[in-house]
Chains A and B, each alone.
Chain A
Amino acid sequence: MTERSLSLRQPWTRTGLTAWTGIAASIAAPALLAAPGRAPNLAGAFVLACLPAGAAVMCWVDSGDGLIQAGLTLVLSLSATAILSACLIWLTAWQPRALFAFAIVGVVSCVARLVFGGRPCCALRQ
């Protein structure tokens, strides 16, 4: 079995789950934002702010603990949202749709992780 097929066939690793979550969130967020109604729009905005950016990083980093993995995915996403939105204000280039970049980055990184990543980033050598 090649390393590539191994990573696709073993989605139940922490990084694999993070990648699938990141892909799901990156697709669901724009879909919810495009749906009619305030409730799905708001849910989409929160999903966009809370998941894809962190998943894009954490799908490569195995923390060794599911809760830490989920927690860091959340706080890294929120940090990215905070930094990007603050930069938009400082640069007087306010465009909240810039947050869609997180969905793109999330999909690209998480798919890359599933397709190419056989071993999490920077793991200890056995």
Chain B
Amino acid sequence: MRRVLALQLGLLIPLIAGIGAWAFGVSQLNRQAIGPYGVLANANAWFILGLVLLLAGMLAELSRPRARTWLLGAYLIGLIVAIHTTVPLLYGGTPEYAWVYKHVGVAQEFGRYQRVTDTSNIYQEWPALFTSVASISSLGNAGPLSFAAWAPVAFELADALLLLGIFRLLTADRRLPYLAVLLYEGLIAWVGQDYLSPQAFGYLLWLGIMAVVVRWLLVPEPAHARRRFINRVRAFLLARRPSPQQASASMRWVAFGLVAVLYFAIVAAHQLTPYIVLPGVTALVLLGVVWRGWLLVVLLAVVAVGFLVPRYGLISSQFGGVFSGGDVFENASGSQGILHKAAELRTGEVVHLLAGLMWLGAAAAIVVRWRSLGRVALPAVLAFSPFVVLGVQSYGGEAIYRVFLFSAPWCALLIAELIAELRGALRPLASAMACAVALAAGLQGLWGPTAVYAFTPPELTASNWLYQHAAPGSVLVLAADNFPGLQVANYRSYELVIAPSDPQDGAAWLDEGNVLDVEEWLVSLGHPTVYVVFSQSMANYASYFGYPTGYGALAKAVVGNPRWHAVYRNPDVVIYRVTVG
């Protein structure tokens, strides 16, 4: 017994060494030294060694014919924790991404005012995530800012739990689900959809729906259709399909109820997620593999439309309606008109290549099995059905990222199944190559812009100071569109304005290099006193994206200007009160 225990503890040595090396590496990283190519380019040997040990340890275990799943699970947890806590640890628990602070503000607003105060605010009309955060915050006696930075690691661990469960139901190979989830973690690392947000919440609940469908609602054979053509197509697509899990009729009805609850929570939390869920479920129903499929689709559609109808005006005004644009290529092109520059361009190319390889790999896995499509039918349908969304909406340029995210789990499973078919030394070699490439590219996408999107504690302190000291009704001007703001309950009492210094906003953009032009624009805001904020992350933003072009010149020019009075200063932020007019 002691020997077994000692052996099992010995197995943990690479894992513990990996975590230890990574943690020591993080403690030795200097956040000021992180440049435009991000964390990986500026990492020390300990940090890289830690990640390599974790990956190598998991791959070594995956290469064993009788892999220990508890150890694979431990490695997976270690990797997810290392990937998604690096930035919060480096930046003192300050949440990453400026838009997270807006979400925090909405939750704080619900906590304080205890009702919907603005029906034209899209966040308040889809409130479920924000009200949940407000509840937890109120009961826990702690503001959302105290835990928001840890949302990505929490969401990723929960996603991985459900994905592992789903993949275990879909395959008999006990190693394959772990390989697929490892691949998935690399593939989606760059998408950045796991921060404290309704979409991350909706995604987790969608995985719950998929778990219920795969476990209880799949049927062995499609019902006989009246048209012979449909039967033939289904027979071809479902050839040699593995038998799904068994379930009683009463359990299937219970599963219907579980799906309805999960779907209603999604519908009340996020505008787009319900419509990405529908094509996947509908595609499975068209294949004929879902029990009482059309009833399920109708149920989901009724819930989605029933919630949407009273709020359609808001969607119409902000996104031009649900069916705002059928130009698939335009909707697939992501954020339109963004200027690309050096590091941002390189990192962008890396993740575009990764996305292309993912879909190519998934397509290859389907083509290889063209004689037995049933073996891949379910993941194949789920991997490519999210593209339907691109036919109707761009969602402000974000739709393609959601399509990628909802497609990624099934693509990862398809690629992992393809790798699992390989024999001999090829299998571990291909596993190592695929996972290393996916992780390296995904982590470059995730950590490449860290110096831009992560905020230091002094920046958050400065933002909180501003809201505490500026009188309600004040105009707060950001010299560049990158600063923690709107995180307070009464954020709507302030007018937060971003200097229109981005050439992409239109022809008449403000040249920040010219102080007189800037002051003239400040006069046009119609307030005698405005607060203007300059920060380190704004400087990083301007350097990374190449705009606002005059940011650095303005920051220097206003020093000592009698109309620009510095009212707050810390190592990363200067706030000026500007008297104009």
Contacts and interface: CB of A to CB of B under 8 A. Distances in A.
> Does A pair with B?
yes
A46 interface: yes
Nearest to B158: A74
A8 interface: no
A122 B261 contact: no
B291 to A, nearest CB: 13
A61 B254 contact: yes
Contacts of A68: 162, 165-166, 168-169, 211, 215
Given A88-B131, A123-B248, A41 B140 contact: yes
A65 B215 contact: yes
B494 interface: no
A71 B261 contact: no
B265 A79 contact: yes
Contact of A99 (B135, B253, B254): B135
B405 interface: no
Contacts of B247: 122, 124
Nearest to A63: B215
Contacts of B121: none
A79 B129 CA distance: 9
A80 B261 CA distance: 8
A121 B261 contact: no
A124 B268 contact: no
Given A85-B134, A90-B116, A122 B248 contact: yes
Contact of B140 (A38, A65, A86): A38
B57 interface: no
Contact of A33 (B129, B139, B261, B265): B139
Interface in B90-137: 110, 114-116, 127-129, 131-132, 134-137
A121 B251 contact: yes
Contacts of B137: 45
B212 interface: yes
A121 B255 CA distance: 11
B5 to A, nearest CB: 21
B316 interface: no
A122 B254 contact: yes
A45 B131 contact: no
B245 A64 contact: yes
Nearest to B211: A68
Contacts of A88: 131, 135
Given A41-B139, A49-B132, A79 B205 contact: yes
Contacts of A122: 247-248, 250-251, 253-254
A42 B127 CA distance: 21
B262 interface: yes
A89 B264 contact: no
B204 interface: yes
B27 interface: no
B258 A92 contact: no
Interface stretch (B141-149, B188-196, B445-453, B477-485): B141-149
A85 B111 CA distance: 11
A81 B169 CA distance: 28
A80 B205 CA distance: 11
A74 B157 CA distance: 12
Contacts of A38: 140-142, 146
Interface string A85-122: 11011101010110100000000000000000000011
A85 B132 contact: yes
Contact of B128 (A42, A71, A82): A82
Given A85-B134, A97-B139, A124-B247, 10 more contacts: A33-B139, A41-B141, A45-B136, A49-B132, A65-B215, A68-B215, A74-B161, A85-B131, A89-B116, A96-B135
Interface of B: 110, 114-116, 127-129, 131-132, 134-142, 146-147, 158, 161-162, 164-166, 168-169, 201, 204-205, 207-208, 211-212, 215, 245-248, 250-251, 253-254, 258, 261-262, 264-265, 268-269
**10 shortest interchain CB distances as A-B pairs:** A75-B208, A45-B140, A94-B114, A67-B165, A122-B251, A42-B140, A79-B265, A68-B165, A85-B131, A82-B128
